[in-house]
Homo-oligomer: A and B are copies of this chain.
Amino acid sequence: MSSAEKNTRTRILDAAWTLLETNLGEPVRMSDIAREAGISRQALYLHFPTRAELLVETTLHIDEVKNMESRLTPSRSARSGEERLTAFVDAWGNYIPEIHGVGRALMAMQETDAEARSAWQGRMEAVRHGCAAVVRDLSRDGGLKPELDEGRATDLLWTLLSVRNWEHLVRDCGWSQTAYLETMQALARAALVKTAATD
């Protein structure tokens, strides 16, 4: 609990995150993390009971995840509900590639999955709340499609954001992140907004 303890711990987490982000494809070993953190492999177990827990902690520790809610809060400049929707989808589209390593970390633990998932469920709830807030604004503005209630609209948006194949599209289909963002925007507007604006 001393500051030294805390420093070593965070040094480990930072090291793990660096490797998850960088060494794309290669599995991240405990010995790798130890070397990156500048300590011995066994010392890792003084701070984390198992590799899986270390990786979960890593994903929860990085700034991008800790600041998830603020990252996904659209700028104050968005006045109308539709603008707010656009800003929200944009924020999400820019956010996803930044936390690429998180997916790898979660993937690295098939059977500890349940544990990792429950740790992540709360975070994801925050995103869903964001969807609900955006839909509420859109509804207040009268911009929401008349045939949708807010719950259904929230579901649609939430589902849309769960398109996880960004990587696939970019890698295998030659998409750019811009194309991805535009597609998200087009889908979101088409699904939710009464009079969808054309490009």
Contact = CB atoms under 8 A, between A and B. Distances in A.
Interface in A172-199: 172, 179, 183, 186-187, 190-192, 198-199
A162 B179 CA distance: 15
Interface in A7-53: 25-27
Contacts of A163: 159-160, 162-164
A114 interface: yes
Give the residue among A168, A169, A187 with the most B Cβ atoms within 10 A: A187
B159 A25 contact: no
A110 B23 CA distance: 12
Interface in A134-188: 145, 147, 152, 155-156, 159-160, 162-165, 168-169, 172, 179, 183, 186-187
Chain A residues touching B, majority SS: helix
A25 B147 CA distance: 40
A198 B155 CA distance: 16
5 contacts: A26-B111, A27-B111, A147-B199, A159-B165, A159-B187
Which 8 A-B pairs have CB atoms at the shortest separation, nearest pair first?
A162-B165, A190-B191, A147-B198, A190-B190, A159-B183, A163-B163, A164-B164, A187-B191
